[in-house]
């Protein structure tokens, strides 16, 4: 998988409901939104309202909520990434191998995985139960929950 096209799956411990007054990309799919390593993206919730954005510079991606406040940061390498919450505290990490991303919480405990195949990423919780998917087509990624309902999108 090419580094520039590799998808880093972000786990932020501060995830909350999509319907809160402050929206953030970190709230899509229970804190596991996808953000590309380079470039910037805009995120929308399940009804199309702006939920925030991401920007990238070098190996660092930053997430901003719908009010423009920093919601988190991801420092990535070729095979792993570390996530930080809005206050800079460690909120987890991911490892990437063979089109699979494994998620770990801030204490290092396994919290789920994602399997990437073509333009589709399937998410699973720590027990292996399906928890959602992301589908990319034409420059837009759409996120669906475990019941197939639209949870948000990235453009």
Residues constituting the chain: 155
Dist. CA 137–CA 104, nearest whole Å: 28
Q: Is the model's pTM score more than 0.75?
A: yes
Compute the half-sphere exposure of residue 33: CA atoms within 13 Å on the CB side of its CA.
42
How is residue 109 written in tokens? Answer: 């405990």
How is residue 92 written in tokens? Answer: 């987890």
Residue 40 is predicted with a pLDDT of 81
Pick the CATH number of 3-154 from 1.20.120, 2.60.40, 1.10.3470, 2.40.160: 2.40.160
Residue 78 is predicted with a pLDDT of 87
Residues of the chain with pLDDT under 70: 1-24, 30-39
Cα–Cα distances (Å) from 16 to 7, 28, 96, in that order, read 22, 9, 25
Cα–Cα distances (Å) from 17 to 20, 59, 114, 123, in that order, read 6, 28, 21, 18
């Amino acid at each position: 998988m090419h580094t520039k096209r590799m998808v880093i799956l972000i786990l932020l411990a501060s995830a909350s409901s999509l319907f809160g007054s402050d929206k953030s990309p970190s709230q899509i799919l229970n804190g596991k939104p996808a953000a590309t390593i380079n470039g910037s993206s805009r995120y929308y919730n399940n009804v199309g309202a702006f939920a925030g954005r991401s920007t990238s510079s070098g190996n660092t991606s930053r997430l901003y909520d719908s009010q423009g406040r920093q919601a988190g940061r991801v420092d990535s390498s070729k095979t792993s990434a570390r996530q930080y919450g809005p206050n800079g505290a460690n909120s987890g990490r991911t490892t990437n191998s063979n089109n699979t991303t494994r998620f770990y919480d801030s204490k290092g405990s396994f919290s789920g995985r994602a399997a990437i195949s073509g333009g589709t990423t399937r998410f699973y919780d720590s027990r292996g139960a399906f928890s959602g998917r992301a589908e990319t087509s034409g420059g837009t990624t759409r996120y669906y929950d475990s019941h197939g309902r639209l949870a948000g999108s990235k453009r």
